[in-house]
Amino acid sequence: MKIYVGYVDADEVDAFGEDGLVGPNSDGSYFGQYVEYGTNAGGLDEVAIGDGCNRMVPICVENLPDLIAALQEIQNNVEKIAEAKQLKKKMKSDGVAYVEDEEVLWDWEQSFQDADW
């Protein structure tokens, strides 16, 4: 079984070609990577993460919880970094907010109409 991940927009496929991509699926869509289980060399004992360049990383199924925890930590950090960047831009902006019932409400239209983020 293969599960394709990392959808590649059709415009990018048209512009750069299919080399290095996996697919297409039944809809004709291409992807950057795939996860394979059961049909790879490791069978049911490992999961393989691969790409269209014939690179593959086998991962023992016993280690999947640890891999998931590591990936979740990275995802959490990526989200925190994005939030911090948005907060920094908000603090540097000429933004306008109002307090109503002990809650700060931003006037998004007025505050960020010229923002470039």
27 belongs to a structural domain:
yes
Same-domain check for residues 23 and 72: no
Contacts for 107 with CB less than 8 Å, ≥ 6 apart: 95, 96, 97, 98
pLDDT band at 39 (very low <50, low <70, confident <90, very high): very high
82 belongs to a structural domain:
yes
C-beta separation of 81 from 88 below 8 A? no
> What are the structure tokens assigned to 28, written together?
């004709």
Integer Cα distance of 52 and 32 in angstroms: 7
Question: What predicted TM-score, i.e. pTM, was given to this entire model?
Answer: 0.70
Alpha helices (H) in 17-63, listed in sequence order: none
Same-domain check for residues 26 and 76: no
Q: How many domains does the chain have?
A: 2
Eight-state DSSP code of residue 114: T
Same-domain check for residues 88 and 42: no
* Domain span at 107: 66-111
Average pLDDT over the chain reads 90
Note the residue count of the chain. 117
Integer Cα distance of 90 and 96 in angstroms: 10
C-beta separation of 32 from 22 below 8 A? yes
pLDDT tens per residue, range 48-94: 999 999 999 999 999 999 999 999 999 999 999 999 998 888 888 88
pLDDT surpasses 60 at 114: no
| Residue 91 confidence (pLDDT) | 83
